């Protein structure tokens, strides 16, 4: 199972909106509504920000939103803030109880 494809980096100015794509196949992203997104700061454990494609855990800002079209999932960060500067990873179910992470995207504000 190959890693899902994410852009290596995305940048934006404070207040802008950015989108991070996560491209897989019909065997993972396209086949299941089980895409999650994680935010990771350097030296820290990741934090869940989106699950089941577009659900936000309690306590996560509504500036984060998720969607999916075909084999590509997307994370949108609106009202970009300096504190959003981090690495972002998607993950998807691949069938048979297995999962795969994306390659990761560094967000620069």
Partner 1 sequence: QVQLVQSGAEVKNPGASVKLSCKASGYIFTNHYMHWVRQAPGQGLEWMGVINSGGRGNTAYAQRFQGRFTMTRDMSATTVYMELTSLTSEDTAVYYCTRDSPSGWMAVDYWGQGTLVTVSS
Residues that bind partner 1 (CB under 8 A): 1, 3, 32, 34, 36, 38, 40, 45-46, 48, 51-52, 55, 57, 87, 89, 91, 93, 96-104
Q: Is 39 helix (H, G, I), strand (E, B) or coil?
A: strand
Whole-number minimum distance, CB 2 to partner 1, in Å? 10
CA distance 53 to 31: 12
Residue 99 CB partners (closer than 8 Å, separation 6+): 91, 92, 93
CA distance 24 to 83: 28
Q: Is 26 helix (H, G, I), strand (E, B) or coil?
A: coil
Whole-number minimum distance, CB 87 to partner 1, in Å? 8
CB nearer partner 1, residue 70 or residue 98: 98
CB nearer partner 1, residue 14 or residue 64: 64
Whole-number minimum distance, CB 13 to partner 1, in Å? 26
CB nearer partner 1, residue 13 or residue 96: 96
Q: Are strands 105-108 and 9-11 parallel, antiparallel or unpaired?
A: parallel
């Amino acid at each position: 199972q190959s890693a899902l494809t994410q852009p290596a980096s995305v940048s934006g100015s404070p207040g802008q909106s950015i989108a991070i794509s996560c491209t897989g196949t019909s065997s993972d992203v396209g086949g299941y509504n089980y895409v999650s997104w994680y935010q990771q700061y350097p030296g820290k454990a990741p934090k869940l920000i989106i699950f089941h494609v577009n659900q936000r855990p309690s306590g996560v800002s509504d500036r984060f939103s998720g969607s999916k079209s075909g084999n590509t999932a997307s994370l949108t960060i609106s009202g970009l803030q300096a504190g959003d500067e981090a690495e972002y990873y998607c993950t998807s179910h691949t069938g048979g109880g297995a999962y795969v992470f994306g390659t990761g995207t560094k967000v620069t504000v």
